[in-house]
Structure 1
Amino acid sequence: MTAVSPTVSASDSPLRSFRSFMLFWWGRLAGTTAAQMLMVALGWQMYEITGSAWDLGLVGLLQFLPALVLTLPAGHIVDRHDRRWLLTLCLALQLVVGLALALGTAGGWVGRELILGLSLLLGVARAFQMPSQQALAPTLVPAAVLPRALAFSSGAMQAAVVAGPALGGFLYAAGATVVYGVCAALFALGCVLILRITPVARAAQREPASWSSMLAGLRFIWQRQAILGALSLDLFAVLLGGATALLPIFVRDVLHTGPWGLGLLRAAPAVGALLVSVWLTRAPIERGVGRKMLLAVGVYGMSMLVFGASTSFALSFMALFVSGGADMVSVVIRQTLVQLDTPDEMRGRVAAANSIFIGASNQLGEFESGATAAAFGPVGSVLLGGAGTLLVVGLWFRFFPALARRDRLQGPAQ
C-alpha cells in the first residue's frame, strides 16, 4: 500500500466534499457502534466463561498494550499511505474478530485463550484506527466548516457510545452469536462506506522511517504552546476529574439505587455531550476560543464537585450531564485547533501523539480514581479531583498564555 496519486481536492466541489464527509460520518458511526457492542458482549462472555475479574482486566490490558506500543509507528504510516485504506483495514480486522467470535460461539469452541488473543488483535486495529480517522476527517471538508463538521461527527460518536452498549446488551439476550453477527455486519458496512470516499489530493510523503520521523508528532506538539496547552489541559482534566470508574460505588453506597441508576449515570455525560454537539453544529464557537476552552474545563471541574457532594440522584445526573456538555465544548475546540494548526503531512503523527494523551488520561484516570478512593473514600476522591481540575485551569491560564489568548480556531500556529 503506497501513497495514492492526487485525484481531487476536498475543496474542488462543495457537493463532493459533503458527500465524502457524510460517507466518513456514517462509516465511523457504524464502526463505533459495532465496537461498543463488541466490548459489551466480549466482557460479558469472558465473565460467563471464567467468572474472573482478573480475566476481564486482561481483556482491557491486551487491547491497551498494542495501542501503546504501536501508536507512534502508526502515525508515521498514516502520513505515508492512503488513510482511507488504512481505516478500512482497521475496520476489516475488527470484522474478522467479530466473525471469529460469532462462529466460535455457535460452534462452542470460544474460550479464554481465544478471547484474549482476539483482544490483542482489536488493540492492533485500534492503534491505527484513531490516527487514521483523525487525519482523514479534516481533508474532507474546507477549513472554514471544520468546526461544524467535527461537532457533528463528535455528536454521532456520543450517540454510538450511548446506543452501542445498550443495543449490545439487548441483543445479548438472544445470544452472543447474534451480537457478534450484527457487529460483523456493521464493520462490513463501515468498510464499504469508507472505501466510497473520493480520494483526496495529497502530496506523497517520502520521509524515510526513523525514530526521528516517528517522534515528529510529539516534537511538533511540544514546539507549539497553544496545541500543547490544549492537549495537556484535556489530559489533566480527565486524569483528575473523571469519576466513571467509581460510579458503581456511588450508585450503591451513596445514592442507594440499583443497576438502572448505574446505566442512567453512565449515559448522562454522553447525553449532555450529544446535545451540546448539536448546538455547536448550528452555532460554532468563532471568537475567544482559547478562553472558552479553559472556562469549559472549569465548568467540568465544578460539575464534578457538585457530583461528589451530591446525595440526590437527580442532582448527580444533572451534574454528570453538565460535565459531558462542558467536555464536548473542550473536545471540539481542541480537535479543531489541533487539526487546523497541523500541516496535512503531519496529521497522522500528531493524531497518534494526541491518542497517547487521550489513552494516558483514560487509563491513568481510572487508576487515579481507584487509588484516591482507597485513600480518601469515593466522595473524597471525586471532590479532590474536581478541585484539582479547577487548579489546573487556573495554572494553565498562566503557563499557556498563547492558548488563553487564542481568539480564533483558524489562525497562526503557535
Structure 2
Amino acid sequence: MNSVLKNSPFASVKITEFRNLLLGRFVFIMGLRMMATLVGWWIYLLTNDPFAIGLIGLSEVVPAVSLALYAGHVIDQSEKKKLLLRGIILYIIAAIILVFISGKFTASHLSNHWIAICIYTVIFGTGIIRAFTGPVFSAMIAYMVPRVHLQNATTWSQGTWLSASVTGHAVGGFLIAGAGITGTLITVCCLITTAFFFLIKIKKKPAGNIKGVVRTWESVNEGLRFVFKTKELLGAISLDLFAVLFGGAVALIPIYARDILKVGPQGFGFLNGAADLGSIFIVVILTLFPLQKKQGKKLLLAVAGFGICIIIFGISKIFVLSFVALLISGMLDGISVVIRGTITQLKTPDNMRGRVMSVTSMFVNSSNELGQFESGVMAKLMGTVPSVIFGGSMTLLVVIATWFKAPTLRKMEY
C-alpha cells in the first residue's frame, strides 16, 4: 500500500495543507499574471514605445534582485505563514493603487507620461514584495510534504503556477477587451483577496536556526556557498537565466498582437497564454510519467528547442504559426522548470530553504523581467522582429556552450 501511495501521481495532493497551498497559489498567481498582462498592454497604449514595455520588467527586477539575499535570511528566521500573508496584503494594496491610477480622476489630472511613471512606481513596490513572498511558497513545500513525495509535490506546484499563469494571461486579455483596465484591476484585487483566505488555513511554519541580526551576512553567505558548491543546481539555474534572458520574446507580444499580427486584445490574450498552456500540458504528462533518467541531457535539449521556437515566433506573420511556436516553447520550458525545481527541492536542507530559494529566484524568476528589459532595449535598437530572432539565436549559443563547458549538468540524473 505504501509503495502504491509513493508511486501515485496524486500522493502529495492528498495532504490537505498542501492542497490549500496549491489553491491559494493558483488564485494568487492568476491575479498577478492578469496584472502583468494588463500593465504591459496599458503601458504600450500610453507610450507606443517598445522600450517602455522593457522598463516594466526593470522596475520590478531591480528591487527583487537587490533584496533577494537579505529576503532569504529573513524567510529562514521568520514564521513563514505570517510573512507570506503580509506579502499578500501588500499586493492587494498595490492593486488598489493601480485601480485609482486607472480612473477618470487620474486621467483628467495627469498626462500619459506621468501615469506611466506612477505605474512603474507601483511595479517597483511589487518587486520589493516579491523578493519575500516568491521564495516562501517554495520554501514551505518541504514542511508540508514528506521527502519521498517532494518530486511529486514539486511537479504539482509547478503545474499549479503554470495553470494559474495561462489562465491569468488569457482571461486578462479578454477582460481588458470586455471590462476595461479598471474592471480588470478590480478583478485582480478580488482574486488576491481570495488567495489570502485559502492561505490563512495553512499551519504556522517554524523559523530556522539563525539567531540574531549580527549573523545576517554570514547566513546570506552560507546560502550562496551552498548554491555555488552544488554544481547541478548552479548549472540548471544559470542555463535558465541566460535562456530566458535572451529568449524573452513574450515581453514583445503586445507589439506582435497589435502591429504585426493585428489580432487585438483577444489575440493578445491567446498569445500571452500559449506558452503557459504548453507548459501545463507537459507538466501533466510529467506528473503521470516522471522523467526517470538522463534529466540533465533532456534539460539541455529542451532549452535548445525553446530557442528554435522563439526564432520561429519572431519570423512568423501568421497568427496560428505564432501561437503554435509559443505553445511548443512552453512545453519545452515546462520540462526545464520541472527538472530544475526537483533538483532544488531534493538538494536543499530544510534550514536553508529560504536562502537557497531566494538565490534561485535571483537567477530564475528575475530572468523573466531581465529578459523583458533586454527585449525592449533590443527592439528599440534593432527593431522588433530582428530582436526576437537575435534572442532565440543567443539561447541556442548558450545551450551549445553549456553542453561542452558543464559536463556535470549534461550527465546529471536524480
TM-score scaled by length of structure 2 = 0.82
Pairing partner for 1:383 from 389, 398, 402: 389
What's the offset of the Cα at 1:147?
2.5
The CA deviation string for residues 134-159 of structure 1, in whole angstroms up to 9 with x for no partner, is 21123321233223322222222222
Does residue 333 in structure 1 map to residue 339 in structure 2?
yes
Q: Residue 274 of structure 2 contacts residue 324 of structure 2 at CA under 8 Å; is this kept in 1?
A: yes
Where does the alignment leave 5 or more consecutive residues of structure 2 unmatched? 1-10
Compare relative contact order (CA 8 Å, sep 6+) and give the higher one, 1 or 2: 2
CA distance in 2, matches of 1:245, 1:56: 7
* Partner Cα distance (2:262, 2:44) in 1: 25
Q: 1:32 is paired with a residue of what secondary structure?
A: helix
- 1:339 deviates by 1.7
Q: 1:249-293 CA distances to partner (integer Å, 9 max, x unpaired)? A: 545666565554433322211111111111111111122211111
For 2:197, the equivalent position in structure 1 comes to: 192
Query: By how many angstroms is 1:123 displaced?
Result: 2.4
Q: Distance in 2 between matches of 1:351 and 1:114?
A: 30
The answer to whether the 8 Å contact 1:148/1:282 transfers is no
The answer (yes or no) to whether the contact 1:93–1:121 under 8 Å persists in 2 is no
Higher deviation after alignment, 102-111 or 330-339: 102-111
Deviation at 1:384, TM superposition (A): 3.2
Separation in 1, partners of 2:25, 2:388: 33
Contact 1:88 1:190 in 2 (8 A): no
2:74 maps to which residue? 77
Shift of 1:105: 7.0
Q: Which amino acid aligns with 1:327?
A: D
| Equivalence for 1:142 | 146
**Distance in 1, Cα, partners of 2:303 & 2:171:** 31
How many residues were matched structurally? 394
- Alignment of 1:294 onto 2:291: no
- What residue number does 2:133 align with? 129
Structure 1 unmatched runs, 5+: 1-13, 409-414
Inter-partner Cα distance in structure 2 for 1:315 and 1:115:
33
Secondary structure in 1 matching 2:398: helix
Q: d(CA) in 1 for partners of 2:258 and 2:125? A: 35
Residue type at the aligned position of 2:211: R
Distance across 2 between alignment mates of 1:90 and 1:338: 23
Q: What does 1:7-406 align with in structure 2 at a 5 Å threshold? A: 18-40=15-37, 61-100=58-97, 108=105, 112=115, 118-168=122-172, 170-171=174-175, 173-174=178-179, 178-200=183-205, 204-206=209-211, 208-251=214-257, 255=261, 258-373=264-379, 376-406=382-412
Counterparts of 2:388 and 2:100 in 1: how far apart (Å)?
43
The residue aligned with 1:5 is none
* d(CA) in 1 for partners of 2:306, 2:150: 24
1:57/1:366 CA distance change after superposition, 3 Å:
closer
Shift in alpha-carbon separation, 1:168–1:305, aligned structure 2, 3 A: closer
Q: Deviations over 1:215-273 (max 9, x none)?
A: 33222211221111101111111122231233345456665655544333222111111
Report SS of the residue matched to 1:209.
helix
C-alpha separation in 2, matches of 1:363 and 1:101: 20
Q: 1 or 2, which has the higher helix percentage?
A: 2
AA partner of residue 193 (structure 1):
F
Which whole-Å CA distance do the structure 1 matches of 2:379 and 2:56 have between them? 24
> For 1:214 and 1:95, how far apart are their aligned partners in 2?
29
Residue 106 of structure 1: how far off its partner (Å): 7.8
Name the counterpart of 1:411. Answer: none
- CA 1:41 to 1:318, structure 2 compared with 1: closer, same or farther past 3 Å? closer
Helix, strand or coil for the counterpart of 2:215? coil
Give CA-to-partner distance per residue, 1:330-388, whole Å, 9 cap, x none. 01100110121111111111111111113542233234334444555544433333333
Shift of 1:196: 1.5
- In the TM superposition, residue 192 of structure 1 has moved relative to its aligned partner by 2.5
- 1:322 Cα deviation from its structure 2 partner: 0.8
The more displaced of 88-97 and 380-389 is 380-389
Q: 1:131 touches 1:352 (CA, 8 Å); kept in 2?
A: yes
